[in-house]
């Protein structure tokens, strides 16, 4: 019986992400018209990750219900693949990237919002949408972790995947600066080349730490080590 509320919850979260993405894309911001469009912002990439992840969660729930009581080995095999994909996305992308976006955004915002979210953006992005992009991600992913046990990959494989994502995004940001001459985030404009390297290295370490936090938290909640 506990599965049904979880299904409804995941479907509601998926719909909320779809609404946030649609409202964000509907905003006529100058940044959307420049090189890279919305895809240069980690916040937008994270929203897509979360929407895809919860879409897979909903699809997994539906497949589980449809195959319940069915003895088809092929359907069972496909369901296991879907569950493995769901767990991998949770471990490597949804949790570490989601937590990173929320913590980094609000930490820098509190220090000096102009470095990450200039006041000019208030004219384009309403407060509720800002929180939808930068706040609710954390409780949503924590709810998912609490309601469902996720099988984490081996630590070396998981960290390698997280590092690949982090380095890939850093290279993407550097490429955009190479093409346009403008950094995606105003914060980077104030850093010297040497400090930028240290900053990018620290960012990579932090997102790896969040991966480890997710693994430990998952084990703690579900007591998998016992």
Residues whose CB is less than 8 angstroms from the CB of residue 56 and which lie 6 or more positions away in sequence, other chains included = 82, 85, 86, 89
Tokens of 164: 């690949």
In a domain, 156, yes or no: yes
Is residue 1 in a domain?
no
Match 């909320």 to its residue by tokens: 16
- Assign 207 to helix, strand or coil: helix
Question: Residue 45 — φ and ψ, nearest 5°?
Answer: -60, -40
Each residue's pLDDT tens digit in the chain (226 positions)? 454 578 889 999 999 999 999 999 888 888 788 898 899 999 999 999 999 999 999 999 988 887 776 767 777 888 889 999 999 999 999 999 999 999 999 999 999 998 888 888 888 889 999 999 999 999 999 999 999 899 999 999 999 999 999 999 999 999 999 999 999 998 899 899 999 999 999 999 999 999 999 999 999 998 754 4
Alpha carbons within 13 angstroms on the beta-carbon side of residue 95 total 27
**Burial bucket for residue 152 (CB in 10 Å: 0-12, 13-18, 19+):** buried
φ, ψ (nearest 5 deg) of residue 183: -80, 145
Q: Rounded to an integer, what distance in angstroms lies between the CA atom of residue 198 and that of residue 116?
A: 18
Distance CA 157, CA 5 (A): 33
Q: Indicate whether 207 belongs to any domain.
A: yes
Nearest to 52 by CA among 101, 89, 23: 89
Q: Which of 101, 117, 136 is nearest to 207 (CA)?
A: 101
Count of the separate structural domains present in the chain: 1
* Residue 42 falls inside a structural domain: yes
For the question of whether the overall pTM of this predicted structure is more than 0.85, the answer is yes
Host domain of residue 122: 6-224
State how far the Cα of 174 lies from the Cα of 178, in Å rounded to an integer: 6
Give the angle 179-161-22 at the CA atoms, nearest 5°: 60
């Amino acid at each position: 019986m506990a599965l049904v509320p979880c299904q409804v919850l995941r479907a509601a979260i998926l719909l909320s992400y779809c609404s946030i993405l649609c409202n964000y894309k509907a905003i006529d911001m100058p940044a959307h018209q420049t090189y890279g469009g919305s895809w240069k912002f980690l916040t937008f990439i994270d929203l897509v990750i979360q929407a895809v992840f919860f879409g897979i969660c909903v699809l997994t729930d539906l497949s589980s219900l449809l195959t319940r009581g069915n003895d088809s080995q092929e359907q069972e095999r496909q369901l296991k693949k879907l569950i493995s994909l769901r767990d991998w996305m949770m471990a490597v992308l949804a949790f570490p990237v989601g937590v990173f976006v929320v913590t980094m955004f609000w930490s820098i915002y509190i220090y000096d919002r102009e470095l990450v979210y200039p006041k000019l953006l208030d004219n384009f992005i309403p407060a509720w949408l800002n929180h939808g992009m930068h706040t609710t991600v954390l409780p949503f992913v924590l709810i998912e972790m609490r309601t469902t046990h996720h099988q984490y990959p081996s630590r070396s494989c998981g960290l390698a995947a997280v590092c690949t994502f982090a380095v890939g995004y850093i290279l993407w940001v550097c490429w955009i600066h190479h093409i346009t001459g403008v950094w995606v985030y105003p914060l980077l404009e104030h850093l010297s080349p040497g400090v930028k390297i240290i900053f990018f290295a620290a960012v990579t370490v932090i997102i790896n730490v969040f991966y480890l936090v997710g693994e430990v938290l998952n084990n703690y909640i579900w007591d998998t080590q016992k």
